[in-house]
Amino acid sequence: MLVCRTISEIRGFVRQARARSQTIGFVPTMGYFHEGHLTLMREAKKACDVVVVSIFVNPLQFGPQEDFNEYPRDFERDKRLAAEVGVDALFTPPVEEMYPAGFSTHVEVAGLTQCLCGLSRPGHFRGVTTVVAKLFNIVLPDRAYFGQKDAQQALVIKRMVRDLNMPLEIVTVPTVREPDGLAMSSRNVYLGPREREAARVLYRSLKLAERAVAGGEMDVARLLEIVRQEIASEPLAQIDYAEIRSLPDLEPLARLQGPGLLALAVRIGKTRLIDNTILNPGNSGGAGDAFNYV
């Protein structure tokens, strides 16, 4: 596995692959790999000749009070895991390589970014779309892989790709979970033992909503009441947002008529966790494994 720290090195690798007519799969990450990341890489490996993974903790997508400095990093472990999965090249640029002095161009998707995480984390999606647009221009992938875990992010990236005619396909992969349902996340390491236990409330509340939909409940206010009550039963949990919105436009909904995204952001102590599910009246409450809506 090739490890590149500069844009010119990874471009050289990509150029050679293209010269051999190989297709390129790309998985952008912030590192500190877990099974969610590795699943994206395996999916890329299945569908593409060559897989490139980036590890870049992107300062642009963190707010001034957020955890950019504390964000967990373990490059040696990441390198070993990526090699085991069969990744062909890792791109790990330093911040100055991506944002040299004088950097002043940003990519911003309107509308979709003005709700959910876009409200709680001002500037976050502008940072995400800017870095992902840069990475797409550097890696020139045929397909890029994103997790449903960050459903709003996947929708925003898809919109950017469509609006700017970027010549690649975005593939979304269902959320990979711990055995007790907690969505895997690099930030789960922040949780102490009691907090880790409390964090199960996110998945429990998603499941309660799915069950209510399966039982015929279509009223969004009532569904959200079920979710909020469940989260309120956990003393360490504080809701940042709990909303049900339309797909793929993330418009507010009063009633579920087709698939809707139930999205949660919950603080467990100091750690902010997100999770979501697709509520689908036509599919016994949940969307199942097929994630065709995001």
Q: Which residues are catalytic?
A: 37
Q: Which stretch binds ligand AMP (CB under 6 A): 75-83, 133-141, 143-151, 244-252?
A: 143-151
Stretch that binds ligand AMP, among 28-36, 161-169, 190-198, 217-225 (CB under 6 A): 28-36
By CB under 6 A, name the one of 14, 30, 206, 268 that touches ligand AMP.
30
d(CA 176, CA 169) in angstroms, rounded, equals 21
- Residue with smaller CB distance to ligand AMP, 4 or 155: 155
Contact 266, 238 (CB under 8 A): yes
Shortest spacing between CB 266 and ligand AMP, in angstroms: 15
| CA separation for the pair 151, 53 (Å, rounded) | 20
The reply on whether position 29 binds ligand AMP by CB under 6 A is yes
Q: Is 36 a residue that touches ligand AMP (CB under 6 A)?
A: yes
Give me the half-sphere count of Cα atoms (radius 13 Å) on the Cβ side of residue 186. Answer: 18
Nearest to 107 by CA among 65, 164, 67: 164
129 is a contact residue toward ligand AMP (CB under 6 A): no
* Separation between Cα atoms, residue 167 and residue 143, nearest integer Å: 9
Q: How far is the CB of 156 from ligand AMP (least distance, A)?
A: 12
Exposure of 45 by Cβ count < 10 A (0-12 exposed, 13-18 middle, 19+ buried)?
A: middle
User: Please, what is the minimum distance in Å from the beta carbon of residue 74 to ligand AMP?
Assistant: 12
d(CA 173, CA 194): 30
Supply the DSSP symbol for 280.
E
Minimal distance, residue 239 CB to ligand AMP, in Å: 20
| Touching ligand AMP, residues 147-186 (CB under 6 A) | 147, 149-150, 173, 175-176, 183-186
Please report, as ranges, the residues that interact with ligand AMP according to CB under 6 A: 29-30, 36-37, 39-40, 146-147, 149-150, 173, 175-176, 183-186
